[in-house]
């Protein structure tokens, strides 16, 4: 007898989990969280998971509490005799800490991988990791999905002429090149110099943008300092229009205000992280279908590569 499939939601991803479950023809399982006055909390399943293939949907942003909740849910499922437990983490927090880039710092992404495996996770499903090598931090299978599956069709529907795909920095050039190749577009790179974390100094463009419709591609937008500075610089260099697409709407601090006051015509995200407020320039596209298909493919031991565009 095949193990039943069950989808559960962490408190930060209830809306996305409901959409994923609906797309998969399932319903979200019953779970609860009890919060104590000192900040401690306790998770519990309100239905049996014995012998079940359990998928727990939880983006870890903000990272600390949501990661801890995910760890507790994994542990609870394993102790309740779940057959397999898969952590579905559309946005993987601490992914920017993927290496020691200066002395005496932690490799946060590796620590998170160790914590997930210590909790008993059997598989991880995520999307657009900040660094691909994070997959190698795990000793369990990692299904790495791509926001391009929903972002690229949106760009195609715009039917922009003289299209240029731009990377906001040198580190994103591989991603921008893949998007440009798929869209048969030219490519540009915004070269920046950071003064310190989340603070951008001087910026210039490598590539022709005069009279072009530019789409800046990134994996996440945090404070929006880089992306808005890049958009303003590209407009100054003669770009006809500037848009941005990114998988993860971290949008902390002054991000919403910066986007609203920038030269960006629109910014398109996936719904891996719920938007904190509305903006006339910000649009969110659902990734529920691609995660639902991948969950069902994994459950049925089928290939997931057909779900990718790039």
HSE (side-chain half, CA atoms, 13 Å) at 130: 17
For the chain, 310 residues long, the average pLDDT of each consecutive 10-residue run is: 94 96 98 95 97 98 94 98 98 94 94 98 97 95 96 96 93 92 95 62 84 96 94 95 97 96 97 93 97 97 85
- Interacting residues of 146 by C-beta distance below 8 A, sequence separation 6+: 127, 128, 247, 308, 309, 310
Q: Which residues are catalytic?
A: 192
**Residue with the two structure tokens 């997959």:** 135
Q: How far is CA 53 from the centre of its chain?
A: 23
Whole-number pLDDT of residue 201: 61
Whole-number pLDDT of residue 203: 79
Q: Comparing C-alpha atoms, which of 252, 249, 239 is closest to residue 166?
A: 239
Q: How far is CA 93 from the centre of its chain?
A: 9
Whole-number pLDDT of residue 135: 96
Whole-number pLDDT of residue 288: 98
């Amino acid at each position: 007898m095949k193990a039943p499939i069950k989808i559960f939601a962490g408190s930060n991803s209830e809306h996305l989990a409901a959409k994923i479950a609906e797309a998969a023809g399932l319903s979200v399982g019953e779970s609860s969280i009890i919060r104590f006055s000192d900040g401690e909390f306790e998770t519990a399943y309100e239905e049996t998971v014995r012998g079940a293939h359990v998928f727990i949907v939880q983006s870890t942003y903000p990272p600390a509490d949501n990661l801890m909740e995910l760890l507790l849910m994994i542990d609870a499922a394993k102790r309740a005799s779940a057959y397999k437990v898969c952590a579905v983490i559309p946005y993987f927090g601490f992914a920017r800490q993927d290496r020691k880039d200066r002395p005496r710092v932690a490799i946060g992404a590796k620590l998170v991988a160790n914590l997930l495996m210590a909790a008993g996770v059997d598989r991880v499903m995520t999307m657009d990791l900040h660094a691909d090598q994070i997959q190698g931090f795990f000793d369990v299978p990692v299904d790495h999905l791509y926001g391009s599956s929903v972002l690229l069709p949106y760009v195609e529907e715009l039917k922009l002429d003289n299209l240029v795909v731009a990377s906001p920095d040198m580190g994103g050039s591989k991603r921008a090149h893949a998007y440009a190749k798929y869209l048969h577009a030219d490519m540009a790179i915004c070269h920046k110099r950071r003064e310190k974390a989340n603070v951008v100094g001087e910026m210039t463009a490598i590539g022709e943008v005069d009279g072009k419709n530019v789409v800046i591609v990134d994996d996440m937008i945090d404070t929006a300092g880089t992306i808005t500075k890049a958009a303003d610089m590209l407009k100054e260099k003669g770009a006809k229009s500037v848009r941005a697409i990114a998988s993860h709407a971290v949008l902390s601090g002054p991000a919403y205000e910066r986007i609203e006051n920038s030269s960006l015509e629109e910014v398109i995200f996936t719904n891996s992280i719920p938007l904190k407020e509305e903006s006339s320039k910000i649009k969110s596209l659902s990734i529920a279908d691609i995660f639902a298909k991948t969950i069902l493919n994994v459950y049925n031991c089928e290939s997931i590569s057909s779900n990718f565009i790039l």
